[in-house]
Amino acid sequence: MPIDFARIPRAALPALLRTAPKAELHIHIEGSLEPELIFQLAQRNGVALAYPSVQALREAYAFTDLQSFLDIYYAGASVLLHELDFFDMAWAYFERAAADNIVHAELFFDPQTHTARGVDIGTVIRGLHHACQRAHQELGISASLILCFLRHLSQDEALATLEAALPYRQHIVGVGLDSSERGHPPEKFTEVFARARALGLRCVAHAGEEGPPAYIEGALDVLQVQRIDHGVRCLESPALVQRLAASRMPLTVCPLSNVKLCVFKTLADHNLPALLQAGLCATVNSDDPAYFGGYLNTNLLATFEALPQLGVREAYQLLRNGFEASFVPAEQRDGWIAALDQAFSAAAA
């Protein structure tokens, strides 16, 4: 039976957004490292930090663009040295995810950030995988890992990283491409993505956040990705919008991140309503929540408060898109969509 969205008052939306089941598809697990945990791990591991206190570190989170964020992001990751550190970081995220009623999360991780400091890739993956297992057992959260290549580094380094990860292939669902977008087009990584596809890995890539629509086209045509991370600049190309809509290519949009990194001046300026109006498969995600002001529910609540043109129907569509775009078996995905339908139907009763 179809959901009668008209029977759900917009005033009921905040509670519904909080309690509805949801998926998160664009979360950098290193970007969930809160200042408090950074200081705890620094003390545990004897790592000296450039900031004297948690408050001083938080005050440094004033970014002018992606690179100014990445500088602090990599400094924060310096405290991650042991398997337990990676477990603790991911487990802290999963506890917040459970509070946000996230039932499925696909975690990005950046092994090159750690192997460059002498941390073995196995240490990284084992710690994160252990947290994924425990999240499933204790919190009922389905979780998988997506290994991301740092695009400011070379393709040869990306290939070496992929090969080093092969002993842990069973713990990884896909590969991605992140870090500085400007000046690093998708075509730079043609060979490593071909290798990943040959291994049966899913492929995603950051494109069209700071980079032009051509980077989205390159990710589609050359890397043959199955999701575009961000993708908000696609509206600059009507032909690309038509293509994305026709193929139902998911866009993992991160509203608070876009404002924090000055992609949009304010949340009220965000183009999410236009993306949905164009028929695009947009989703809402938190990106690097420790740095950008909030986890998934905070992103959803802030976005719907700032954009009154978005209503109950759009809320349902965004959450459903998250499930449809997830890398899980159809039966699992359909079960979550049924639970989402039930949540909205109950609100309409």
28 is in an annotated binding site: yes
CA quadruple 210, 216, 222, 223: dihedral positive or negative? positive
3-class SS of residue 163:
helix
Q: Could you tell me if 160 and 111 are in contact, meaning their C-beta atoms sit under 8 angstroms apart? A: no
> How far apart, in whole angstroms, are the C-alpha atoms of residue 55 and residue 46?
20
Q: Active-site residue 209, yes or no?
A: yes
Residue with tokens 């775009």: 325
Tokens of 343: 């949540």
Residues paired with residue 206 on neighbouring β-strands, in sequence order: 229
Q: In what order do the strands lie in the sheet with 281-284?
A: 22-28, 102-109, 142-150, 172-178, 202-207, 227-230, 250-253, 281-284
- Whether residue 288 is annotated as binding a ligand: the answer is yes
- Quick count: other Cβ atoms within 10 Å of Cβ 22? 28
CA distance 283 to 321: 6
Residue from 258, 328, 249 nearest 24 by CA: 328
**E strand spans, 124-181:** 142-150, 172-178
CA distances from 70 to 25, 66, 67, 120, 134 (A): 20, 6, 5, 22, 29
Q: Is 41 exposed, middle or buried (0-12, 13-18, 19+ CB in 10 A)?
A: buried
26 is in an annotated binding site: yes
Residue 88 is assigned to a ligand binding site: no
Does 82 carry a binding-site annotation?
no
Active-site choice (24, 83, 209, 217):
209
Amino acid at 324: E
State CA 74 to chain mean position distance: 17
Q: Comparing C-alpha atoms, which of 151, 282, 273 is closest to residue 215? A: 151
Annotated binding site for Zn(2+), which residues?
26, 28, 206, 287
Annotated binding site, which residues?
26, 28, 206, 287-288
What residues are annotated to the active site? 209
Annotated binding site for substrate, which residues?
288
